[in-house]
Chains A and B, each alone.
Chain A
Amino acid sequence: MTALGLSLVVSLAKGQTADDAIMMSKKQWCNGLTYMYSSWNKYWEGSLKRSNLNMGTVSTESLMLMSNYGISDKVNVLVTVPYVWTHATAGTLSGLKGFQDIALDLKYEFYQHKIGKGTLSLIGVGSFSTPLTNYENDLQPMSIGLGSTNLAGRLTVDYQNGVFFTTISSAYVWRSNVTIDKTAYYNGEEMLTDQVDMPNQQMSNLFIGYRSPTLTIRAQLYNMYTYGGFDIRKNDFPFVSNQMNLTTLGAHVKYFLPFVPNLEVIGGADFAIAGKNMGQSQTYTAGLYYVLSLKK
């Protein structure tokens, strides 16, 4: 596979990483910085789409450091560290900021085969993420994250025919309980504890597009589905263990600059088209990646 920098989409489906079929070659090391701006002025309260004049437009911004190293052509390890800050344009609620969750992904291309005129690749990814700091997770929607430690198993199927490709990927995410600062909360019944059961999730994506060694342009569909959790009640605040579902549709470009070797720019936009207990977000990303070769 051609060595390309990796792009990481951080949509409201936080920590969405390692969902493409691109592998670094052995001893290649890609480092990048991505800026993301995501905002919404409408959200789904349960299934009801509404606005909230006391929130206005709520934005989440992040700067994410990403590092991807090719242990071999077939095994890559990725680390991502996001710094996140939030803001609401109306009402009185303060934004919050801080380092969110560090993610480690181990990506293994375990199968590659010519089929027809194209190449089929199968990739397995094991992921672990955990909060880097003890950030406040109980002031949704201003909190910078949910606070759970997650483990995910992902399978990616990629088929490339000439410069055209399709990727289908899905991850099952096990989420740990989280601790909140309150001693009780209501999730349909009154829970007299600061422990919250976080239902597991499925994160899936479909990419279709053009991929050459220097340029990738793709359309992308993301889906996050939560296996359980409860709906935000009418005019209540969101809560960490709501059933958060979101589908976004977007486009993404990656391009190796011809005049600076090994420097890649990335950009993307994703728009929420359906959801539950989530903001109807518009998310824009832009980043720079630099690929080092540690080969002698």
Chain B
Amino acid sequence: MKKIFFYSAGLMGLLLTAVSCQKDITGRTSNLPAMLANNNDTSAGSWRTVLLSRPDSFVVVAPVPTTSPLYTADLFEIKSLQKSLNKDQENTIKYWAAGGVLRWNEIMRGLVAKYNLPPVQNSDTSYPIPNAANPLAYPLFPFSNPPYAARAYGYVSAAQYDALIACWYYKMKYKRAAPYNFDSTVSAKFINKSDLPSYPSEAAVLAGVTAEMMKLLFPGEIANIQAKAMEQEQATIMSGAATRADITAGEALGRQVAELFIARARGDNAGKAVGTPADWSNFITNTMDQGLTPWYSLEHPKRPPMLPLFYKVKPFLFDSATVVSLRPAAPPAVGSDQMNKDVAEVNGYVKNPSRENLRIVEYWADGVGTYTPPGHWDAIAAEDFVTQHYSEVRFARNMALLNMTLMDAAIVCWDIKYHFFNPRPSQVDPSIKTLTGVPNFPAYVSGHSVFSGAASEILGYILPANASKYSSMANEAAMSRLVGGIHYRTDCETGITVGNNVGNFAILRAQNDGVN
């Protein structure tokens, strides 16, 4: 008997070792190698900007000569830092060396996930509305739901792109060699050497422009973001890629460019997107006046619809008249044969879901507490872009194309949703139980489908070899909403088409932005 016990104890011990060994979790991008651009894109100073009227709209004064004692002092700072790098500093350099646009996008996705929580109702069954002027009081500002997130990603990416165009312009104007190229006693620590001039520092431009934008978008996070910006700048100096003067000039340039975007954002109508109780009831009466069944919230207590006036936000890729022109035909009316068929189809999917359908639903759910569908497409894109060995400015350009597309997709989608104000399947047939949370806004057309149709279209243009992969991912994302029980097939299929149409505007821009 003892034998049995000891054998089993031994077996347990082995299994334990196996289990404990695989405990450490490493993110997909945690250990990326240092970036090594296969093209420095030295002509990027002439690429087409988004808001900046000229690459030199903001003046960056010439750097002090390399003979200046100030420059020598800057080199000393690097050398003394490099003499005593500890493990933490080494890890910080390696983290940022994978790419500034990439890392800031990841940081932002984390913030979106952190703030993507719908407020708890008040005791009187109303709901509190987050207040940008008091972001730290509950409910925290922002509630970074999909439209909010899409706009935030859009502004940050567009601002980073313009700021880097200005940065490249000055880099090529002043042609200041990087410290590791100028002084042989400065090493390139945990980074790859590049011939790209270092003044102003692209890392600091990114730190400055992003930190400044985030004051508007995530005002409760200013201290954390400022710490990240300083960490990136310090890492860049320690790596030997830039001097203190390169950093200072870069950060100032980045912050100035951000101000342009912040001014636009303050006037783009997003601040009014929550609407008023009168706006909310107007949607209902307008729909009923047409003899149609209006959407209502399936939450208890009924929650006001998510950002109903977001459709009024000013798009990046086209004007507001185009938003209206992208509206599809009306969905089948509640009670029509077609709608009855659509509802029955939804019911068929949720009754006994296959494991594969559950996987698809959860894979694409991107609901409460996540970085939202735009963040999911950012993750897909960023991880593919990394393999392309882009320069920072090209990485920024492609993320800007993607995120301006996603923001405009949100605007167009919200226009359609609130124009038709169509109910969800579970409202039409309360017996429909869903495999993911029902979003608190009208059904037609599916947001996931518009986002995915738009993202796959522009990403397929940027990386043609992946075009069919992106398009099948988009279709899966769209269909996940049908098999999850929260959308009719029409919402998804029409949504993809609308998204593709939005994506085509981004392609048009990409074909004419001076980048090849």
Contact = CB atoms under 8 A, between A and B. Distances in A.
B25 A94 contact: no
B188 to A, nearest CB: 27
| A interface, size bucket | 35 or more
Contact of B5 (A110, A176, A183): A110
30 contacts: A53-B299, A53-B300, A54-B299, A71-B4, A91-B300, A92-B432, A92-B434, A93-B435, A94-B350, A94-B353, A94-B435, A106-B4, A124-B5, A128-B12, A138-B362, A149-B19, A151-B15, A184-B370, A184-B376, A185-B113, A186-B369, A186-B371, A190-B110, A190-B371, A191-B27, A192-B28, A197-B24, A234-B120, A235-B117, A235-B120
Contacts of B501: none
A136 B355 contact: yes
Nearest to A50: B120
A163 interface: no
Contacts of B19: 149, 151, 174-176
Contacts of B365: 182
A95 B358 CA distance: 12
Contacts, number: 141
A94 B434 contact: yes
B172 interface: no
A237 B369 CA distance: 8
Contacts of A237: 367-369, 437
Nearest to B437: A93
Interface of B: 1, 4-5, 8-9, 12, 15-16, 19-20, 22-30, 106, 109-110, 113-114, 117-120, 138, 298-301, 350, 353, 355, 358-359, 362-363, 365, 367-371, 376, 379, 426, 432-438, 485
Given A54-B300, A186-B114, A153 B426 contact: no
Contacts of A124: 5
Contacts of B362: 136, 138-139, 180-182
B119 A235 contact: yes
A27 interface: no
B355 A192 contact: no
Nearest to B362: A181
Contacts of A186: 110, 113-114, 369-371
Given A235-B117, A235-B119, 13 more contacts: A53-B299, A53-B301, A92-B432, A92-B437, A94-B485, A124-B5, A126-B9, A138-B362, A139-B435, A177-B22, A183-B376, A186-B371, A233-B369
A184 B299 CA distance: 26
Contacts of A91: 298, 300
A181 B359 contact: yes
Given A71-B4, A190-B110, A90 B25 contact: no
A233 B367 CA distance: 14
Contacts of B300: 53-54, 90-91
Nearest to A106: B8
A91 B426 CA distance: 10
Contacts of B9: 126
Nearest to A135: B355
B120 A189 contact: no
